[in-house]
Structure 1
Amino acid sequence: MGDDEMPTALAPPAPPASHEPKSSTTYRLTTANVPTAAAVLRNLVVTLLCTTGHETLAQTARLLTSEIVTNVYRHTATRVVHVEVTVDERQTWVYVHDDKPRYRPMPPEVADGEGGLGLFIVDECADAWGITHYGAQVPTSKAVWFRLVEGGRGSS
């Protein structure tokens, strides 16, 4: 490498370019996959949205972030949880990344009890949502994401 060349560094994956507008800003939050992860990350997402002028999306983002991060804690053995929040003038995207491409199967007693509604809640409240797998033909990680739009389903 010559004196003029700079080494390149790898960063966590950003949301797909088709979902990220040109005038957006992305924030990345990371914590250990521990029982308090959902509370910590949902509160940080709320603070971020209120700080960036998206107060009307904050409470729905709080609920959906909590549901998805709780799923990561309950159904994967990943060591860390990465959350990316992309905001622009009218909307926000929240991506919850973990390094397990699939959830472990949910125990029947959880599915039949009060649990098992997380993605149903996401589907009902988000303007859009999905799961993105990373790693080509043999996925190595995934992100569950949702989009909230000012004046949309998740706006209060």
Structure 2
Amino acid sequence: MTPVSVPPAPAPYLPQRGERYRLVAPNTPTAPRIARDFVGALLRTTEHPGLADDARLCVSEVVSNAHCHTRSARIRVDVTVNRRQVMVYVTDDEPARLPKPGVAPHVPHTPYAPHAESGRGLVIVESLTDRWGTTTRGGRVRTAKTVWFVLVERAAVVGARS
């Protein structure tokens, strides 16, 4: 019998235990910087200061995508911190297009050219995080889209495997 590998289930919206923090910013050009500063300052005061730089870069990329590719009035950044991990959720009110790494959002299913000046944000998120994904909220009529990612301290991962 051939073994079947089942991918991990996507992280549900804000289910994790831990301390929760929220920033709601207007969808303006300053939103990525504000979100980056919020997440960086937050993580430097928790038990995960080593994750601050990666989290800052990832949240900046995801919030930039929400700013550039949606008309959502607000962008929400939720952060859940517990002793094992940090989860960051970036939510906008335009669920129509779920982002994929390396795919042009304005032309679905079209990869970016290797020398393009943009389009690498989610590739960066994918390379720096332990897991990431997207989810939508709402019933039959979706009302919001969330891009989430999880960061875990490398020492914690190594210690857990020992």
TM class by shorter chain equals 0.7 to 0.9
Quote the residue 1:99 is aligned against: 93
Q: CA deviation at 1:118?
A: 1.2
- 1:47 partner SS: helix
Query: How many pairs does the alignment contain?
Result: 134
**Corresponding residue for residue 84 of structure 1:** 78
What are the within-5 Å matches in structure 2 for residues 110-125 of structure 1?
111-112=112-113, 113-125=116-128
**What is the match of residue 30 of structure 2?**
36
Question: What amino acid is aligned across from residue 15 of structure 1 in structure 2?
Answer: Y
TM, length-normalised to structure 1: 0.79
- 2:58 corresponding residue in structure 1: 64
TM-score (ref. length: structure 2): 0.76
Letter matched to residue 124 of structure 1: S
Structure 2 portions without partners, runs of 5+? 1-11, 99-104, 156-162
Percent sequence identity is 44
- Structure 1 residues not aligned, in runs of 5+: 1-13
Asked whether the equivalents of residues 76 and 103 of structure 1 are also in contact (C-alpha less than 8 Å), the reply is no
Per the alignment, residue 136 of structure 2 pairs with 133
Q: Give the Cα–Cα distance (whole angstroms) in 2 for the partners of residues 56 and 144 of structure 1.
A: 22
Report deviation, 1:138: 2.2
- C-alpha displacement of 1:137: 2.6
Q: CA RMSD in A?
A: 2.1
Whole-Å separation in 2 of the counterparts to 1:136 and 1:42: 31
- Alpha-carbon distance in structure 2 between the residues aligned to 1:136 and 1:122: 28
